[in-house]
Structure 1
Amino acid sequence: MIGAAIVAAAAAGAAYYKTRGTPPTAVAAVAAETANPHVPIQAELQSILASYRKIIVLLADEKSMSEPDRKAAAQVGQVLFHENVERFGKVRQLLAKLQEAPASQRDAAYDALLTYIESDSGLYDADRLAFREVLVEMQRLAAANQTLPGIKLHKRVSEDLAALEDIERQYDKELQGIFARFDQRAIVPKRERWDAYVEHLKKLFSRDQIMKDYGVIVPYPVKHGSDDAAPEDFGRSLPPKTVLLTFDDGPHATYTDEVAAILKQYGVPAVFFQVGKNLGQVDAKGKEALGKNAAASRRLLEGGHVLANHSYSHALLSKEKGDQLYGEIAQADQLLKAVDTRRSSLFRFPYGARNAEGMAVLNKLGLRSVMWNIDSLDWADPVPTSIASRVLDLVEKEKRGIILFHDIHERTVKTLPLVLDKLVAEGYSFATWDGSEFTITKAGKPAPDKVAVSTGYADSYAVVIGINDYQKWPKLHYAVQDAKAVRDTLVNRFGFDNSRVFTLTNGEATRNNILALFHDKLANAKLKKDDRIFVFFAGHGATRQLSSGRSLGYIVPVDSDPDQVSVDAIPMSELQNVAESVNSKHLLFVMDACYSGLGLTRAGGTSAFLRDNARRIGRQMLTAGGADQMVADGGPNGHSVFTWTLLQALGGKADLNSDGMITATELAAYVAPAVASVSQQTPAFGSLPGSEGGEFVFQLPAEAEFLSEGSAQLSPEAIALNSKLDTGRRQQADGNSVVVKNLQGEEQKLAAPKPVDASSRQLAQRANDRGLQLYKEKQYAQAEAAFTEALKYRPDFGLAANNLGFVYYKQGKYAEAARWFENTTKIDASRAIAYLNLGDALQRQGDLERGRKAYTSFLELAPNHSSAGYAREQLAKLGTGRPQ
């Protein structure tokens, strides 16, 4: 099988769906084409699906196939894929033509097409992934139609695309044997098995027949040293731990620039093998004319990348000869020279299919054939994590080589950071072409401090303990509530799997249970080297003097005796042993208890640590205070001051360099001075002995809340404390660095890493996220500035536009609010909540007629929304005749 990888990637499941419409037969389709414009489009969709399924059948048993058979199957699969690229182009043309049809006919056609995609009884979840690009095009066209049917269509298509994202996530879970149902949408993903789907496809198609239909393409052996043979590279001659990134089939109007932006972040070069017809045309007189995509190619050159030849039309050159074969190669080279004479002499045969005559043409034109030995199969596999896993496995096997990607898919854009994170972390070098030979560079060399790296973790585990009802120690009031809040934050905000968050509270938290959790539960979890572990303890702490004069800290289980601390409490040295024994990349202890006596080393991060963090072991600890200090439990919502501050930090306040990530050092640099400024505690932080300078990292999720009257804000008590915490932290900070103590009482300076390069989209999201934090604290002027900044980075950011409007609304600036809510509906016509907000703002202005229309649009889009009753009440007040 293409591993459980591609087949499951294409097959997040396999249950049948309720019938909402049966596709017409071929005869009926021809007869109905004029009256039913969806018929030819649906026929193309069915052809797309058939080729998509054949690709899965071709590669389903990849691991059991011989190398020649695997290569031949992949080549035929690529032919099928490129036929689908052509079909997608035809579908786009038909959809554009559909826009010119009468409204009733157009709307009916869209309904029929979406009904087929969403709920045809012959489709599996895996099948629906084949229609992603079609849905994206429908969404784009619907966004330009501001009528109510157009708005509804945009909403429906958006929900379908979101459902496809769920199907992708289900695939990831399925590989781990985890199944779950999804929220109801137009497409209703089911619990399904990929093997059942594949067996179903094998009944429909035979690999042998598919190969026979398309011809088994086996590359001709190259006679090296022959006069008519050009040199050829597969990547196996590169030095160890060196790869060459290559991207085929562009330039693409969108994805080529996105790929280049990612490569820039990592400081990695690449070779782009481009199809001539995507650059422009060569007329009958031999005159070239470049198209608009040529600008993307020039940007690649300016970014330090290499342009290379991938034929004029992506034809199967092993079947071509004479002038046709020569023209495919020469015309593409002519267009590349027109883009820039610095184009390289590199050439890649489409599908890797070449013949002796083709190699002779390369020799005549002074071109050099470049193949590959690591195929991402991104053209066949629709799920990014599966693609990344395949590439990394092959790199591990080959140890060097040329990686084949395509810059014409969204999934490649999603895959690339996952692959580069790992390769950079493991010290791989990256090759490029200097005009005469392949030369080697190190990732990030041009800008080592500006490489944007994700957290790179495999699985995330947590141990969460909270004890209020001690048997013999004074009872506490905050610890269990703190533990529950931390658990909820890990699961709901940072995506920790609920089954991997081990929790003990009150009577469960005995000494034996705590130790068993660390030594047995974590051991049985079969931790991997790329996993992380977060440990939170809220309860009593104690410190005892040793005969050597040193102090030793303890955490106190529920059944501990104050007179027997050294016997039935748990010494911090035991947790240090746990830290040294578990097989995980990073481990962070956060202890809401006060004690002293564990020797910590100073944190060892550098300004470029994100680049190296993935390969460094990290063992760190943050404590609430030192020996003989009392933990303050007067925080809002029943929390201790320390845990409340920790939760605010994880909410985004600890992202001190605004890179979308919170490291353990940043966490301590926010929490320690903030807590010390409002209590008698001096939180401490450091790295455990044996740590290699690695940092535990939280990657902040992008906030997606559209502010409305239902949006929560903090209580006056919480706002007052947050103000004190922020002020205290700023007063003790010197720029982005602060001085905190380790558990031995020594001072150390903690500095946040430098900001990394980010796209305008990322910067806009971060500004919006800051605005939401400020809104919750009722800092409306600052929130207004943050949302304004987000819109400067990204003028089409509907989320920020709505949120800016709502900040104006909260300040009583209803005219300004209405304008921004209207802007939101233009940017994202299916965003129902913006119409509700618009209705409220217009009503406050006294513009009752437009207010009615806004409330009506909201109810049309979201009749079952939790605020639908409120909207109907407002319509009734405005004197509408709409039924209640």
Structure 2
Amino acid sequence: MSSPIRRRLSALTLCLLIAGCRGEGTGPDAATNTSPLPAAPTQASPESTALHEALLAQLANHRRIIVLLADEDKLAPATRQSATAIGQELFHENLERRTSIDAQFARLLARSQTTRFDAIAGELDYIESAPDLFDADRLAFVEVLRDLHDRLGAESSLPAIKLRQRIAQDLDALAEIERNYSAEISNVFGRFGTRAIELKREKWNDYVAHLRKQYDRDALLREHGVIEPYPMSLKDSDREIFGRDLPAKTVVLTFDDGPHHAYTEEITAILKRYGAPATFFEVGRNLGRLGADGKPTLGPMASISRGLIEQGYTVGNHSLTHAQLSRETGASLRSQILDTDVLLRGIDEKRAPLFRFPYGARNAEGLQVLGEAKLKSVMWNIDSLDWADPVPDSITQRVLDQVRAQQRGIVLFHDIHERTVKALPQILDRLVAEGYRFAAWNGRDFSVARETAPQQTVTTGYDRSWALVIGIDEYAHWPRLGYAANDAQAIADTLTTQFDFPSSQVIVLKNGEATRNNILAAFHDRLGHGELGRNDRVFVFFAGHGATQRLASGRELGYLIPVDSDPQRFASDAIAMSDIQNIAESLSAKHVLFVMDACYSGLGLTRGAGTNAFLRENARRTARQMLTAGGADQQVADSGPGGHSVFTWVLLQALSGNGDLNGDGLITGTELAAYVAPAVSGISQQTPAFGSLPGSQGGEFVFQIPQREEFLTASTQQLSSDAIAMNQKVEQLQPEDGSAPVTVKSLQGGEQQLVVPAHTGRLSDREVAQRANDRGLQLYKEKRYAEAEQAFTEALKLRPDFALAANNLGFLYYRQGQYAQAARWLENTLKIDPSRAVAYRNLGDAYRELHDKDRAGHAYRTYLELQPAGLAADSVREQLRTL
């Protein structure tokens, strides 16, 4: 009698010959099976269930290995190497599991009950005839069946003999399957050296396509702690950068041998005048020393390097003592490189992973040490010879001649010579005049971060930031509200924590404080008499009642209602919008934005200036803009999440970064309106309006999006279900193209189209990676885990050394119960940044869930050493006590 596997094979072969079927077998089409593993047999005993789960795990790794290594000749070398390494890991897991499965069979056979054979027969039924298995899937069990066949040979009972015969027939059928395949499986598994299986070619592509619907190679690599970065854009060798392949008219300014107690600061002052970035390669002995315990003791010069990093300059490694490293080997060579790296990390973990060999003298061993330490060698192709030439004019001419000849490159200077300080302005004058651009290190290569300087002026163009924030719930004579004071406080907190408005310059008036006199006094006394500068910005927010009065002329006039206003006399004791217009014109600030979470109409404008689309003019044009929640006879929707109105909730989402519609890192008044107005109109009965007030010259109020430094932990708050639902509605209402025109109400009651200018500047990889991480954080808080995983992955492809994104990806796995993957990424985080305490806490949590008490305890104790009084210290101590 033939086995079920043999009978099934015959049917499949006939199917292939007649109809070209894929070989899934009878039953449901496997292509529709989205589960990565088949289901367990029904009515299984606990012992059989445990055995079945082990077999499923064996099958899962078998499939993963195939997905990782299929078509490997098409993979990039780095990806191929990573896939092979992880495939090896999975293969050896299966070897260990095979031993475990064999032991489980042994325990079953050691029992006296006759049902022990039923349990084994049940697993054979599954392997032989489960409809959701491909023939290639069944090959995952060849060794398991061989082991069981050998073990049953020691049994003399009739049931054991029958089972052994059945397994022998199954092995014959599997051997036939193996013979029908050609080289595919041997290409995948042959490298592991324990079996050589050849399978059927005509079904192999279908089988791999089926597996790829269940597994993704990049996802498998990511789960095992590997994300391959995007290829470097430079064409220099993988290990060294010379600058010969920079874009035309692009130079990198580098300074060696510092820091210097005087000349380094003078050089940075010159660089600032020209807006030029630079890289400084520091000698370790100038920074401090390492103790016998390997910990750094920083000296006074270290503060100069720290200041360079804080100012945005790149700081790299120039060896410990400036020795000629081509003559060094072994421990001495490693000390020259690695000890300085420890000192630089002691100054700031943001130190760049760049190294410059003193004198350019290097050997193969030195380059190997750099590779192990994940440092990149930066050479030069333009030498100023400022170390030898005492004449500044001669240095200037030499550099300019070389730059003009090569049209690009990395320039070698030293910040320890006065002659360099004297030559540098002349060099920069000529380079700027001739159209050269200065490139900076972005985390992967040297690039020009932004194409145009005026946008930089916008982001840093304000001297001071002011705000008046008003929220009124507790009206005495008007209907009480339940959201306004909460809205006001949330806006004030956002201004101070996200956008660095000084708390002393954010005036908050809530409830009883928000009288007419107090509101007007805040405008006139705090903002109108001397304290406000011409290069300042003012943000005004009002949440409360609004009202509209029709004047004798037929024109409507809107009012903001203070807490002490009488409904019978609001025309005299409220604040008319004509008063707001007068206030706006009287303020000396460059840019003023009014945001009114109140419904009224009739601003009584004499004119309405359109918004200006040219941000490069923004620094010299005043702005007086207003965004309102709705018109007359419209009720403010107070059903937003978290006790906010719908309008303010959407406004807060815009300020969190969603309002950056063109991706330039800025949120303008126009972008706020283009994001908020359509969303609020789409989910409420309000029609927000936007426009410019008299006195505006077409400028834009601007927020610069801050970098988010939030490391995800167990204490990270996620949004409530109603907040998530609201954000989904808001997102659906946004146009796919952020630069597409958006129709909103004008302040005069008509309609207008807002056009957000497309961003044409080039963002550095570091900036793009930061934004991807920020997006991942937002998606995590909205519990959109798959999208968050992709965002954190993108950040790490752009910046492999991005500890923040590595931690966040690790915690994302933890939150989803994927503890082994979480531990891998948290370990990666600590390789990048060993001082990151929060990652130790997360790592301890992951190992605790994996029941690895030793590793969990070590991670928790390390956290407490780094943060003995941290916010999570008590929780971590409790976890230690319960291990």
TM-score range, shorter chain: 0.5 to 0.7
How do 1:722-741 and structure 2 match up within 5 A? 722-730=727-735, 736-741=740-745
Whether the 8 Å contact between 2:284 and 2:340 is mirrored in structure 1 is no
How do 1:81-96 and structure 2 match up within 5 A? 91-92=283-284
Whether the 8 Å contact between 1:48 and 1:130 is mirrored in structure 2 is no
* 3-state SS in 2 of match to 1:548: coil
Deviations 1:582-602 (A, max 9, x none): 111100000011011125666
- In the TM superposition, what is the alpha-carbon distance from 1:48 to its structure 2 partner? 9.5
Q: Residue 677 of structure 1 corresponds to which residue in structure 2? A: 682
Whether the 8 Å contact between 2:611 and 2:691 is mirrored in structure 1 is no
Which of residues 785, 792, 799 is equivalent to 2:797? Answer: 792
* 3-state SS in 2 of match to 1:474: coil
Alignment partner of 1:617 is 2:622: yes
* 3-state SS in 2 of match to 1:552: strand
| Closer/same/farther in 2, CA of residues 132 and 581 from structure 1, 3 Å limit | closer
**Given residue 866 of structure 1, which amino acid in structure 2 is its aligned partner?**
L
Q: Residue 432 of structure 1 corresponds to which residue in structure 2? A: 433
Alignment partner of 1:105 is 2:292: yes
| Closer/same/farther in 2, CA of residues 856 and 648 from structure 1, 3 Å limit | same
Deviations 1:246-270 (A, max 9, x none): xxxxxx99799xxxxxxxxxxxxxx
Which of residues 743, 751, 754 is equivalent to 1:750? Answer: 754
Give me the whole-angstrom Cα distance separating, in 2, the residues matched to 1:517 and 1:673: 32
Give me the whole-angstrom Cα distance separating, in 1, the residues matched to 2:461 and 2:784: 35
Q: Residue 341 of structure 1 corresponds to which residue in structure 2? A: 405
Q: Report the more deviating stretch, 786-795 or 851-860.
A: 851-860
Q: Residue 146 of structure 2 corresponds to which residue in structure 1? A: none
Whether the 8 Å contact between 1:253 and 1:293 is mirrored in structure 2 is no
Report the TM-score when normalising by structure 2. Answer: 0.56
Give me the whole-angstrom Cα distance separating, in 1, the residues matched to 2:340 and 2:405: 47
Give me the whole-angstrom Cα distance separating, in 1, the residues matched to 2:770 and 2:781: 17
Q: Residue 268 of structure 1 corresponds to which residue in structure 2? A: none
* 3-state SS in 2 of match to 1:561: coil
Give me the whole-angstrom Cα distance separating, in 1, the residues matched to 2:524 and 2:869: 49
Whether the 8 Å contact between 1:656 and 1:666 is mirrored in structure 2 is yes
Give me the whole-angstrom Cα distance separating, in 1, the residues matched to 2:630 and 2:264: 60
Q: Residue 787 of structure 2 corresponds to which residue in structure 1? A: 782
How do 1:693-712 and structure 2 match up within 5 A? 693-712=698-717
- In the TM superposition, what is the alpha-carbon distance from 1:514 to its structure 2 partner? 1.7
| Closer/same/farther in 2, CA of residues 744 and 774 from structure 1, 3 Å limit | same
How do 1:168-183 and structure 2 match up within 5 A? none
**Given residue 739 of structure 1, which amino acid in structure 2 is its aligned partner?**
T
Q: Residue 209 of structure 2 corresponds to which residue in structure 1? A: none
| Closer/same/farther in 2, CA of residues 140 and 457 from structure 1, 3 Å limit | farther
Q: Residue 411 of structure 1 corresponds to which residue in structure 2? A: none
Percent identity between matched residues is 50
| Closer/same/farther in 2, CA of residues 605 and 89 from structure 1, 3 Å limit | closer
Whether the 8 Å contact between 1:552 and 1:597 is mirrored in structure 2 is yes
- In the TM superposition, what is the alpha-carbon distance from 1:824 to its structure 2 partner? 0.6
How do 1:512-551 and structure 2 match up within 5 A? 512-551=517-556
Give me the whole-angstrom Cα distance separating, in 1, the residues matched to 2:815 and 2:829: 17
| Closer/same/farther in 2, CA of residues 444 and 546 from structure 1, 3 Å limit | farther
How do 1:97-246 and structure 2 match up within 5 A? 105=292, 107=294, 110-111=296-297, 113=298, 161=348
Alignment partner of 1:860 is 2:861: no
Give me the whole-angstrom Cα distance separating, in 2, the residues matched to 1:875 and 1:537: 49
Give me the whole-angstrom Cα distance separating, in 1, the residues matched to 2:310 and 2:762: 30
* 3-state SS in 2 of match to 1:821: helix
- In the TM superposition, what is the alpha-carbon distance from 1:532 to its structure 2 partner? 0.5
How do 1:425-574 and structure 2 match up within 5 A? 432-433=433-434, 453-574=458-579
- In the TM superposition, what is the alpha-carbon distance from 1:94 to its structure 2 partner? 7.9
Paired residues, number: 573
How do 1:799-818 and structure 2 match up within 5 A? 799-818=804-823
Alignment partner of 1:832 is 2:837: yes
* 3-state SS in 1 of match to 2:528: helix
- In the TM superposition, what is the alpha-carbon distance from 1:91 to its structure 2 partner? 4.6
Give me the whole-angstrom Cα distance separating, in 1, the residues matched to 2:816 and 2:771: 23
- In the TM superposition, what is the alpha-carbon distance from 1:574 to its structure 2 partner? 1.0
- In the TM superposition, what is the alpha-carbon distance from 1:543 to its structure 2 partner? 0.8
Deviations 1:779-804 (A, max 9, x none): 11111111111111111111001101
Alignment partner of 1:313 is 2:387: yes
Whether the 8 Å contact between 1:317 and 1:350 is mirrored in structure 2 is no
Give me the whole-angstrom Cα distance separating, in 1, the residues matched to 2:839 and 2:415: 48
Whether the 8 Å contact between 1:713 and 1:777 is mirrored in structure 2 is yes
Report the TM-score when normalising by structure 1. Answer: 0.56
- What are the ranges of 5 or more consecutive residues in structure 2 without an aligned counterpart? 1-256, 271-279, 321-330, 332-336, 363-375, 437-447
Give me the whole-angstrom Cα distance separating, in 2, the residues matched to 1:829 and 1:713: 27
| Closer/same/farther in 2, CA of residues 431 and 52 from structure 1, 3 Å limit | closer
- What are the ranges of 5 or more consecutive residues in structure 1 without an aligned counterpart? 1-46, 57-73, 79-87, 119-124, 145-149, 166-251, 257-276, 282-290, 298-308, 319-327, 355-368, 376-401, 407-428, 436-442, 879-884
Q: Report the more deviating stretch, 803-812 or 704-713.
A: 803-812
Deviations 1:553-580 (A, max 9, x none): 1111122221222212111111111111
Give me the whole-angstrom Cα distance separating, in 1, the residues matched to 2:414 and 2:865: 53
User: C-alpha root-mean-square deviation of aligned residues, in Å?
Assistant: 5.0
Deviations 1:406-459 (A, max 9, x none): 9xxxxxxxxxxxxxxxxxxxxxx9961499xxxxxxx99987998785241111
Give me the whole-angstrom Cα distance separating, in 1, the residues matched to 2:531 and 2:388: 47
* 3-state SS in 1 of match to 2:580: helix
Deviations 1:662-688 (A, max 9, x none): 111111111111111221111111111
Q: Residue 230 of structure 1 corresponds to which residue in structure 2? A: none
Alignment partner of 1:850 is 2:855: yes
Which of residues 588, 592, 612 is equivalent to 2:593? Answer: 588
Give me the whole-angstrom Cα distance separating, in 2, the residues matched to 1:818 and 1:693: 53
| Closer/same/farther in 2, CA of residues 434 and 481 from structure 1, 3 Å limit | closer
Deviations 1:216-267 (A, max 9, x none): xxxxxxxxxxxxxxxxxxxxxxxxxxxxxxxxxxxx99799xxxxxxxxxxx
Whether the 8 Å contact between 1:597 and 1:744 is mirrored in structure 2 is yes
Whether the 8 Å contact between 1:685 and 1:742 is mirrored in structure 2 is yes
| Closer/same/farther in 2, CA of residues 349 and 869 from structure 1, 3 Å limit | closer
Give me the whole-angstrom Cα distance separating, in 1, the residues matched to 2:852 and 2:421: 67
* 3-state SS in 2 of match to 1:523: coil
| Closer/same/farther in 2, CA of residues 449 and 786 from structure 1, 3 Å limit | farther
* 3-state SS in 1 of match to 2:549: strand
Give me the whole-angstrom Cα distance separating, in 2, the residues matched to 1:91 and 1:800: 30
Deviations 1:737-774 (A, max 9, x none): 32111132211122333133100000000111111111
